[in-house]
Amino acid sequence: MPIYEYVCSNCKTHFEELVSSTSPEIVRCPKCDSIKVKKTISTASFRMGHGGSTIPSGALSGCSSKSGFS
Ligand SMILES: [Zn+2]
């Protein structure tokens, strides 16, 4: 069974749900129990930017007190 990724329209929570194609069920948000959820294209689109990142590796550590990646 495929795993689909959903986002809740109510509380913006992202979650994944195992969905059987033969028996479509109403998917509820695990956080607020809302049925206003949208199916999103799963992690495939998330990976499209990989290898062409526009964020310098050091930029994210600017406001962090952690020092170990420099
Ligand atoms: Zn929700």
Alpha-carbon span 1 to 10, nearest angstrom: 26
Domain residue limits at 18: 1-40
Give the H or E element holding residue 3: strand 3-8
Structural domains in the chain (count): 1
CATH code of residue 21: 2.20.28
Contacts of 23 (CB under 8 A, 6+ apart): none
Whose tokens are 């990724």? That residue is 5
Domain-embedded: residue 36: yes
Q: Is residue 62 domain-resident?
A: no
Strand arrangement, sheet containing 14-18: 14-18, 3-8, 37-40
35 in any annotated domain: yes
Residue 60, in any domain of the structure = no
Q: What is the pTM of this model?
A: 0.52
CA 60 to ligand 1 center in whole angstroms = 28
Residues near ligand 1 ion, CB 5 Å cutoff: 8, 10-11, 13, 29, 31-32, 34
Interval 37-69: pLDDT, tens: 999 875 554 555 555 556 566 665 555 566 666
